[in-house]
């Protein structure tokens, strides 16, 4: 069958152009949205008197039959179809005849692709939110069992202050919560229907865009037809949000790689989520975490790719925007897969609390508490207290001990102003629990943080189902 747009052409397009121009072999992913949009559009055409009830019913029955064929893998996508919109419309015309030819009244492929792609992105937005919430739930369940588990908190990858393991996991949760909130904000910003904008300037029919938008689940129609067909901000929002998610996943993965090494030994991946070496039989590699870390690169690339496509485009629609979809499809699938496998691998993660306990005795991580004790209990100015604490650390180093393992008499011998009771300040669990300010690492504050996030999750479940 001749191309649906070929009326003014006297020659067939070259095979080379057909291959270069076609998007059917990747945009066929939008078939559900295309059929959904076409059904809503035909309903509106019936409401304004362009289609008869019989024609509308024929179109719906034909679209349902095509949808079933595609779902069952029986529909044959051809290069000559060019894109998913022409493929479905052409198949509909072949199936039902004249009524099918009326479907494209009062719309263009420009607003058709805009609405299909926007619906796909918004639906994917909700799917990613669900995966993020599931991951946060898993982390909180693990955290609930470790609010007293000591581990070294780090800055510059150096032992800094004692924290509990749950506190560290809650920090991960806070980052993923922000990812959810970004997705929620962009959903609110972009949930407007471009269908009915026509090619760029609206259509010369008394259409009801509000009715179509409502049928498709949008808040309302977009405001300006020219902007509607050329806007891909919704896709860029999604790519940016996924890039942020993948950055957070990569940071988590990096810590999991470190923690699973012999040098740290804080965690072990189960055999189900580990791999071996082809030459070194003793190896158990954290390949899952390394792949999660590496996948961020492709997400960043997809974002930069579409930004580059869009940066110089004049209004309104340009064929360049055909390059908008593959990167978005890839990033969405990457995010969904990574969130799922990270969640699954964490559920089987072995946590070595004994090793964490051993490592908090490395690096004199209650030194800050000693300085604070000297200021608060001994009346020593902080700068002097800092110096005295350094002397205590140097003494402990010579003795081959952590400062928390020194005897009180040993500490008192460093400076006559140091008062008794200093050992309580150096106790690692006391040090951790002393940080009881809002947002701090104390067991009490960590439990409050876990509770707050659990309540937020419940609200998300009640809101989104």
Q: What is the CATH number of the domain that holds 314?
A: 1.20.200.10
The answer to the question of residue 433 being in a domain is no
Look up the CATH number of the domain holding residue 68: 1.10.275.10
Distance CA 149, CA 388 (A): 30
- Indicate if 215 and 353 belong to the same structural domain: yes
Tokens of 269: 């991946």
Q: Could you confirm whether 431 is annotated as catalytic?
A: no
Question: Residue 65 CB: number of other CB atoms within 10 A?
Answer: 15
Q: Contact at 8 Å (CB) between 21 and 12?
A: no
Q: Give strand pairing partners of 150.
A: 164
Quick one: pLDDT at residue 278? Answer: 81
Residue 440 located in a structural domain: no
| 9 within a domain of the structure (yes/no) | no
Are 346 and 220 members of one domain?
A: yes
Element (H, E) at 209: helix 209-215
Query: If DSSP codes are grouped into helix, strand and coil, which group holds residue 284?
Result: coil
- Residue linked to tokens 């639906």: 123
State whether 171 and 249 are in the same domain: yes
For residue 193, report the phi and psi dihedrals to the nearest 5 degrees. -90, 125
State the pLDDT at residue 25.
86
- Does residue 408 lie in a domain region? yes
Is residue 277 among the annotated active site residues?
yes
| Same domain flag for 286 and 315 | yes
Looking at 49, 76, 106, which one is the last position of a domain? 106
The string of DSSP codes covering 336-395 is HHHHHHHHHHHHT-EE-HHHHHHHTTSS-TTHHHHHHHHHHTT---HHHHHHHHHHHHHH
Output the pLDDT for position 439: 98
Residue 453, in any domain of the structure: no
- What DSSP string runs through 289-349? HHHHHHTHHHHHHHHHHHHHHHTTPPSS--GGGGGGHHHHHHHHHHHHHHHHHHHHHHHT-
Q: Count Cα atoms within 13 angstroms, Cβ side, for 379.
A: 2
pLDDT at 10: 60
Do residues 220 and 192 make contact, with C-beta atoms less than 8 angstroms apart?
yes
User: Same domain, yes or no, for 391 and 299?
Assistant: no
The per-residue pLDDT for 4 is 58
pLDDT attached to residue 395: 95
Q: Which of 220, 277, 413, 444 is catalytic?
A: 277
Q: How many distinct helices (H) and strands (E) make up the chain?
A: 21, 6
Report the 10 Å Cβ neighbour count for 361.
19
pLDDT for position 18? 63
Residue 136: inside a domain: yes
Q: Which residues share a beta bridge with 163? A: 151
Query: How would you label 80-101 residue by residue, b for 16+ Cβ within 10 Å and e otherwise?
Result: bbbbbbbbbbbbbbebbeebbe
Cis before 62 (ω within 30)? no
Residue 284 CA, chain-centre distance (Å), reads 28
For residue 254, give the 3-state DSSP assignment: helix
Q: Domain end: 106, 130, 148, which one?
A: 106
Name 124's Cβ contacts closer than 8 Å, sequence gap at least 6. 238, 332, 336
Residue numbers of the chain with a pLDDT score lower than 50: 1
Indicate which CATH number applies to the domain containing 390.
1.10.40.30
Same domain for 133 and 82:
no
What is the token pair recorded at 254? 């990096």
Domain around 379:
367-426
In a domain, 4, yes or no: no
Asked if residue 101 and residue 128 are part of one domain, the reply reads no
Q: How many CB atoms lie within 10 A of CB 23?
A: 20
Report the pLDDT value the prediction gives residue 122, as an integer from 0 to 100: 98
Q: Look at residue 189 and tell me if it is in a domain.
A: yes
Distance CA 117, CA 418 (A): 69
Q: Does 99 lie in the same domain as 115? A: no
- My answer on whether 235 and 330 are in the same domain is yes
pLDDT value of residue 32: 98
* Count of structural domains within the chain: 3
Element (H, E) at 208: none
Please identify which of the residues 10, 156, 278, 437 carries the catalytic annotation: 156
75 and 139 assigned to the same domain: no
Q: Please say which residue of 47, 73, 106 terminates a domain.
A: 106
Q: Which two three-digit tokens encode residue 34?
A: 């295309």
Same domain for 320 and 376, yes or no, is no
* pLDDT at residue number 344: 96
Long-range contacts of 174-177 (CB under 8 A, 24+ apart): 174/453, 175/248, 175/251, 176/132, 176/135, 176/136, 176/139, 176/245, 176/248, 177/136, 177/453, 177/456
| pLDDT number for residue 9 | 60
pLDDT given for residue 276 in this prediction: 80
Whether 194 contacts 177, CB under 8 Å: no
Same structural domain for residues 178 and 299?
A: yes
């Amino acid at each position: 069958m001749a191309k649906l747009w070929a009326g003014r052409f006297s020659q067939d397009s070259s095979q080379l152009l057909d291959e270069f121009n076609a998007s059917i072999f990747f945009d066929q992913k939008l078939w559900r949205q295309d059929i959904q949009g076409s059904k809503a559009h035909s309903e509106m055409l019936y409401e304004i008197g362009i289609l008869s009830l019989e024609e509308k019913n024929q179109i719906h029955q034909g679209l349902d039959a095509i949808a079933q064929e595609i779902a069952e893998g029986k529909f044959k996508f051809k290069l000559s179809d060019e894109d998913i919109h022409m493929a479905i419309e052409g198949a509909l015309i072949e199936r039902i005849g004249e009524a099918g030819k009326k479907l494209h009244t009062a719309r263009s492929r420009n607003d058709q692709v805009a609405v299909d792609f926007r619906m796909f992105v918004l639906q994917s937005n909700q799917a990613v939110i669900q995966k993020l919430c599931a991951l946060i739930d898993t982390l909180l369940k693990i955290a609930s069992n470790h609010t007293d588990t000591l581990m070294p908190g780090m800055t510059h990858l150096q032992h800094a202050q004692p924290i509990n393991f749950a506190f560290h996991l809650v920090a991960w949760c806070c980052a993923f919560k922000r990812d959810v909130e970004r997705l929620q904000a962009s959903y609110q910003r972009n949930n407007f229907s471009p269908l009915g904008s026509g090619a760029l300037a609206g259509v010369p029919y008394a259409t009801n865009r509000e009715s179509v938008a409502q049928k498709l689940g949008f808040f309302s129609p977009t405001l300006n037809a020219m902007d509607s067909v050329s806007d891909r901000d919704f896709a860029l929002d999604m790519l940016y949000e996924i890039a942020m998610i993948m950055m957070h996943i990569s940071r988590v993965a990096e810590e999991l790689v470190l923690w699973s090494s012999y040098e740290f030994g804080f965690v072990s991946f189960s055999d189900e989520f580990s791999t071996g070496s082809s030459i070194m039989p003793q190896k158990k590699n954290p390949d899952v975490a390394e792949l999660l870390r590496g996948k961020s690169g492709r997400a960043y690339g997809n974002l930069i790719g579409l930004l580059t496509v869009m940066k110089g485009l004049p209004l309104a629609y340009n064929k360049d925007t055909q390059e908008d979809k593959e990167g978005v499809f890839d990033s969405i699938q990457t995010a969904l897969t990574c969130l799922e496998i990270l969640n699954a691998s964490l559920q089987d993660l072995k946590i070595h609390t004994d090793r964490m306990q051993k490592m908090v005795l490395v690096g004199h991580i209650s030194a800050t508490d000693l300085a604070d004790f000297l200021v608060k209990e001994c009346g020593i100015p902080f700068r002097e207290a800092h110096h005295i604490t350094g002397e205590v650390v140097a003494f402990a180093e010579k003795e081959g001990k952590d400062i928390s393992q020194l005897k009180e008499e040993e500490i008192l011998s460093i400076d006559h102003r140091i008062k008794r009771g200093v050992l309580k300040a150096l106790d690692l669990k006391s040090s951790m629990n002393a940080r009881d300010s809002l947002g701090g690492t104390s067991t009490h504050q960590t439990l409050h943080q876990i509770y707050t996030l659990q309540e937020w999750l419940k609200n998300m479940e009640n809101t989104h189902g």
